[in-house]
Structure 1
Amino acid sequence: MRNREFWQLVDEVFGPTYGRTLAADQVLSALGDRTVEQSIEDGVEPREVWHALCDAMDVPDAQRWGHDVNRQAPPPR
């Protein structure tokens, strides 16, 4: 998963406003007590960040991949 794909999924799954706010403010223990933005900036793989965010927000697997039915899901952790 590329950064561009990651941010596209954030916007699709959480909404552009809430998703970006969530990424800036939500501290996740699975990411070493960093926010989503800090983790991406620190070089954590977007796939790992995506799974940590979805796990923390209890996003069901069926809803994690946005609106594109042809999009391949990032491999599991």
Structure 2
Amino acid sequence: MKLSEFRIALAGEFGAAYGEVVLGDVALEAFGGRTAREALDAGVAPQEVWLALCAAMDVPPARRHGAHRREPKDAAGR
């Protein structure tokens, strides 16, 4: 996931305005309490930040691939 895809997924899941609040306010346990913005600024991969943010915000697993992104294939390639 590229940073631009992260931003699209963030806005798609939470809305543009609330997505910015989530990005800067939600402490992510997976990154020692850093926010998503702080984790990204520290060089954590956008995909890792996205998944941690989804877990923290109880985003259903079916939507964790990100808005406007194709669902990942399963282990069998389907």
Give TM-score, length-normalised by structure 1. 0.83
Specify every segment of 5 or more residues in structure 2 that has no aligned partner in the other structure, as ranges: 73-78
Cα shift readout 1:16-65 (whole Å, capped 9, x = no counterpart): 11111110111111112100000000000111100000001111121222
Provide the aligned length of Structure 1 versus Structure 2: 71
Q: Which runs of 4+ in 1 moved over 2 A?
A: 70-73
Relative to the length of structure 2, the TM-score reads 0.82
Q: Who wins on radius of gyration, i.e. which is larger? A: 2
Unaligned runs of 5+ in 1: none
Partner of 2:33: 33
Does residue 42 of the first structure (1) align with residue 42 of the second (2)? yes
Root mean square deviation, CA, Å = 1.3
Residue identity over aligned pairs, in percent, reads: 42
Which amino acid letter does the alignment assign opposite residue 38 of structure 2?
A: Q
Query: Which structure has more RCO (C-alpha within 8 Å, separation ≥ 6)?
Result: 2
